[in-house]
Amino acid sequence: METFDAIVVGSGFGGAILALRLAEDGRKVLVLEQGERLTNKDFVQDWSFRSQSRLFMTYTSKDFHTFLRYGKGLGGGSLTYAAAMLRSPSEVFQHEDRTGYHVWPESVTREALDPHYQTVEQMMSVSRASWADVPKAGGIFAMLMDNMGLTCDRTMYPIVDCLQCGFCMSGCPFDRKKHLGLNYIPQAEQKGAEFRTGCRVEQVKPEGSGYSVHWVDPHNIKRQAGADVVVMGASALETPRILLNSKAYLTNLHPQVGKNLNNNGDVAMVFLLPEDFPNAYLYMGRNNAGVITYAFWEEHKITIHAGAGPPALFAALDVVRENGKEPTVPLGLEFKKFMSENYPHRLISSLAIGLVDGDGEVSVNSAGDLEFDFPMNDHLKAYIGRVADVGRKIAASNGAELLRTADKTFEHGDAHPLGTCRMGDDPERSPCTPNGELRSHPGIFCADGSAIPGGTGVNPAHTIAANAERIAAYIVEKR
């Protein structure tokens, strides 16, 4: 059996960062990535399911009322995210859930993460978008806020000299978005880390004083390798899948593994603009449309991000009008007529992100396949209702109309799953220590979105990355 000092599962923010820092420390590192090694020549300006299935894994909840996805390929979600890189507000780290539980470890604060945020920003060339970089959809959203006497901030991105092609989430074919394949990964390889793609990890088992990691390679051959340290960076969906499928071997696995699934408070909203508003041209410009408002943070603990909307996005949303006008049902001829008359000039999309409790759960079925529950309980209904009330207030103040985005409610899934192996101070309620180490099995670390214990208030990528830098520093020093 091959042996390494550390095996890293996944090559997104929670994997690539650990690979570089451990390789810099002189350790022999193996990284196993389920997806392909893609270059800018592989990224096509195409929203078809065929193209997207190469870049994303998507799962639907057991009751089919929501979906979650994550990016696959060498570089993970950094290949396909809309690229907003924002530091979480300080209040995020003081959040208590509805039972009074302090969700984040006391030692993990905004102040503690700031130096790690800064490191990520330097590594990935993160900077604030200029107003010239903000697409028209972002300018229109800023206009909505200005008409209410409110403000927007320009968003931070790892994007240099954006061409505004509008396909950020299909992978940037121009290398303007500085994904992990352009910084952390090549630097890790230069330091000796080995990255293997097309490898689907199935289990982790105790092996001597360390662990063995078992995977299926691109040729469908079962492989294994051993290491003293195993880093789980496969996403908040796949990391618990692997650990739960290892339960027969990882005896006394912490019972909270897979629980506390959080969607980062994502709620999608679409506004129908008045006819006298400037044309929004939603298909133009970067997918995250360059602006964010914190105007509702103090009262509601939500931020709202403007989005440029490619046709495929609107075709997938169950857009319905609340006032009884057509379309009264999602999809169908009414929907097509409405879209042909209003897209792309009068429809503007946005995403609210906020602090909600993690009431979902990732599990595995008898075949070992991943499943998840995300119950539409009273707490989630109330949260979505508060977000919708903010949306209606925005609409009413501008002579616009808020559209529902999921038939009788609002779309509340997407690409930000968190919390399924969360860090925490309470050993009963958190599978991982504040340093990301699995309490029941020392030497296994969770460094991806699964370790993030609650909502981040903004797109979580930057906080996942900063936390990975923090965990890496701990391992280098202590392990």
- List phi, psi (to 5°) of 288: -85, 115
- C-alpha to C-alpha distances, 40 to 10, 170, 172, nearest whole angstrom: 20, 10, 6
Q: Which of 13, 40, 327, 358 is nearest to 177 (CA)?
A: 40
> Do you find a cis peptide bond into 327, omega within 30 degrees of 0?
yes
pTM for this prediction: 0.96
Q: What is the pLDDT of residue 316?
A: 67
- C-alpha to C-alpha distances, 89 to 93, 460, 478, nearest whole angstrom: 8, 11, 29
Q: Would you tell me the crossing angle of helices 461-478 and 110-124 to the nearest 10 degrees? A: 100
Q: Which two three-digit tokens encode residue 280?
A: 């929004």
What are the per-10-residue average pLDDT scores of the chain (479 residues)? 97 98 98 94 81 85 86 93 95 96 97 98 96 91 96 95 88 93 98 98 97 97 98 97 98 97 94 89 84 97 88 72 77 81 87 95 95 93 95 96 83 89 97 97 98 97 98 95
Are 387 and 263 in contact, with CB atoms under 8 Å apart?
no
- What is the dihedral angle through the alpha carbons of 139, 144, 146, 147, rounded to the nearest 10 degrees? 140
Could you list the beta-strand ranges (E) of 282-400: 288-293, 302-307, 320-321, 347-354, 360-364, 370-373
Q: How is residue 361 annotated by DSSP?
A: E
Q: Which of 270, 276, 305, 277 is nearest to 290 (CA)?
A: 305
Q: Which two three-digit tokens encode residue 90?
A: 């300080």
Instruction: Tell me the pLDDT tens digit for each residue of 434-471.
Output: 999 999 999 999 999 999 999 999 999 999 999 999 99
Q: Which two three-digit tokens encode residue 455?
A: 């909502």
Q: Which of 453, 386, 461 is nearest to 93 (CA)?
A: 453
Q: Would you tell me the crossing angle of helices 136-146 and 378-398 to the nearest 10 degrees? A: 90
Do strands 153-154 and 29-32 pair parallel, antiparallel, or not at all (unpaired)? unpaired
Q: What is the pLDDT of residue 51?
A: 79
d(CA 229, CA 421): 17
Q: What is the pLDDT of residue 56?
A: 87
**Which residues face 148 on adjacent strands?**
none
Do strands 222-232 and 194-196 pair parallel, antiparallel, or not at all (unpaired)? unpaired
